[in-house]
């Protein structure tokens, strides 16, 4: 998947899928996409393009040729405290350092606090720093939270920032009956889409979309043997971090041919509805506590454990997750929310039913009872 002459039909089909996804996300006018190995590479690529495009805009400096400019240590990327860790990782790899990422507090439901975001941007400018990129998330890993994308787009416009949206997890909503939850995504300068998450593709399969395809020039490198300036047929290596790549677009093409957009969207919609159902079951449950209303297909919850201190409660949650795993009941996620170990359902299987969820919660109660009796003996 590098040059036309080595992979002509694959190039043709991948570009066809790039055009499809660009259209789906409302960026067909000037936009384009490229296939990536997943969210990590898409985020890294987006921030790299943002860095080089913005530095070129600020000072005409070409990072690709001349390296970072002398003001590089003033550059800042702004995102939420709930953004994916790969934003920081990318900043480190790009020579800006992880400390160039300023995180803004999130609301209870995991979405960025817009007022705090504005304050952060003002404060950075007051300190003589240079915020150049704003990262929103459509589907945070834990809460499945979708940031207020239109408000963030307004701020990005007002402060002259590159607006990147990490929709690795949430992008599948575009095909579902809940597509309006992504309203505003079309205003981003770049969008991370992961087909190996809600689009049900085998690993690996992701994409990066850019609103202005001209920005791919910051990645372009010519090689005499591969992608000459004089070539008239497209070489996908021109817009890729990798040189040789797998033909991952074929999987997506086949899935869409087999299921259709509606079929795929229906599967995604079902997981969203089931997450809501699971959250309602948690909310009604006398010994479970719901941590946040789901916006996507994850459900965060904790057990109510009177009589145990915080440390014991955290250990209890780790233990119950382990028991459910090794006894073949369920693979629950474990994460930390507001400093406390919490459990997470990440509902991806479109064949799951409300009854399956009910049975899971019964098992949780059953195992909790067994563990609790051990605790009361030990305490």
Q: Which residues bind ligand PLP (CB under 6 A)?
A: 38-40, 43, 84, 86, 137, 139-141, 166, 168-169, 194, 206
> Which H/E stretch holds residue 257?
helix 249-284
Radius of gyration of the chain (CA): 23
Alpha helices in 101-199 (DSSP H): 114-126, 149-158
Omega before 38 within 30 of 0, i.e. cis? no
Measured from the CB of residue 268, what is the shortest distance to ligand PLP in angstroms?
15
Q: Which is nearer to ligand PLP, 4 or 178 (CB)?
A: 178
User: What backbone phi and psi angles, to 5 degrees, belong to 277?
Assistant: -60, -45
Measured from the CB of residue 226, what is the shortest distance to ligand PLP in angstroms?
26
Write the DSSP symbol of residue 374.
H
Q: Which is nearer to ligand PLP, 139 or 172 (CB)?
A: 139
Q: What is the distance between the alpha carbons of residues 86 and 308, in angstroms, rounded to a whole number?
A: 35
Q: Which is nearer to ligand PLP, 31 or 39 (CB)?
A: 39
Q: What is the DSSP code string of 5-16?
A: TTSHHHHHHHHH
Measured from the CB of residue 87, what is the shortest distance to ligand PLP in angstroms?
9
Q: Which is nearer to ligand PLP, 86 or 281 (CB)?
A: 86
Measured from the CB of residue 269, what is the shortest distance to ligand PLP in angstroms?
20
Q: What is the distance between the alpha carbons of residues 374 and 344, in angstroms, rounded to a whole number?
A: 24
Q: What is the distance between the alpha carbons of residues 346 and 333, in angstroms, rounded to a whole number?
A: 7
Measured from the CB of residue 194, what is the shortest distance to ligand PLP in angstroms?
5
Query: Which token pair is 54?
Result: 């913005």
Q: Which is nearer to ligand PLP, 141 or 342 (CB)?
A: 141
Q: Which is nearer to ligand PLP, 44 or 227 (CB)?
A: 44
């Amino acid at each position: 998947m590098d040059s036309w002459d080595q992979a002509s039909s694959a190039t043709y089909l991948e570009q066809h899928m790039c055009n499809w996804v660009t259209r789906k996300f409302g960026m067909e006018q000037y936009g384009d996409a490229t296939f990536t190995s997943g969210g990590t590479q898409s985020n890294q690529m987006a921030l790299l393009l943002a860095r080089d495009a913005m530095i070129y805009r600020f000072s005409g400096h070409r990072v690709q040729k001349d390296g970072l400019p002398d003001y590089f240590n003033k550059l800042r990327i702004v995102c939420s405290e709930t953004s994916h860790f790969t934003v920081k990782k990318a900043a480190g790899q790009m020579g800006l350092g992880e400390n160039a990422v300023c995180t803004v507090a999130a609301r209870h439901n995991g979405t960025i606090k817009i007022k705090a975001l504005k304050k952060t941007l003002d404060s950075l400018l007051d300190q003589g720093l240079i915020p150049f990129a704003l990262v929103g998330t459509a589907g945070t890993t834990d809460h499945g939270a979708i940031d207020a994308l239109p408000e963030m787009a307004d701020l990005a416009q007002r402060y002259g920032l590159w607006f990147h949206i990490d929709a690795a997890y949430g992008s599948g909503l575009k095909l579902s009956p809940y597509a309006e939850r992504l309203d505003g995504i079309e205003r981003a300068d770049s969008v991370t889409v992961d087909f190996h998450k809600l689009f049900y593709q085998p690993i690996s399969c992701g994409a990066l979309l850019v609103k202005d395809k001209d920005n791919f020039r910051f990645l372009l490198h010519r090689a005499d043997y591969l992608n000459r300036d004089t070539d008239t047929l497209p070489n996908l290596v021109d817009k890729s971090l990798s040189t040789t790549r797998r033909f991952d677009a074929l999987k997506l093409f086949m899935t869409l041919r087999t299921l259709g957009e509606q079929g795929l969207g229906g599967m995604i919609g079902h997981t969203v509805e089931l997450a809501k159902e699971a959250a309602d079951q948690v909310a009604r449950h006398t010994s479970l506590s719901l941590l946040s209303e789901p916006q996507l297909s994850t459900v965060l919850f904790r057990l109510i454990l009177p009589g145990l201190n915080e440390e014991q409660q955290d250990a209890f949650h780790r233990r119950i997750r382990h028991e459910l795993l090794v006894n073949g009941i369920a693979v629950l996620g474990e994460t930390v929310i507001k400093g406390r170990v919490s459990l997470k359902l990440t509902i991806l299987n479109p064949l799951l039913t409300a009854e399956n969820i009910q049975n899971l919660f019964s098992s949780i109660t059953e195992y909790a009872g067994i563990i609790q009796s051990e605790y009361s003996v030990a305490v």
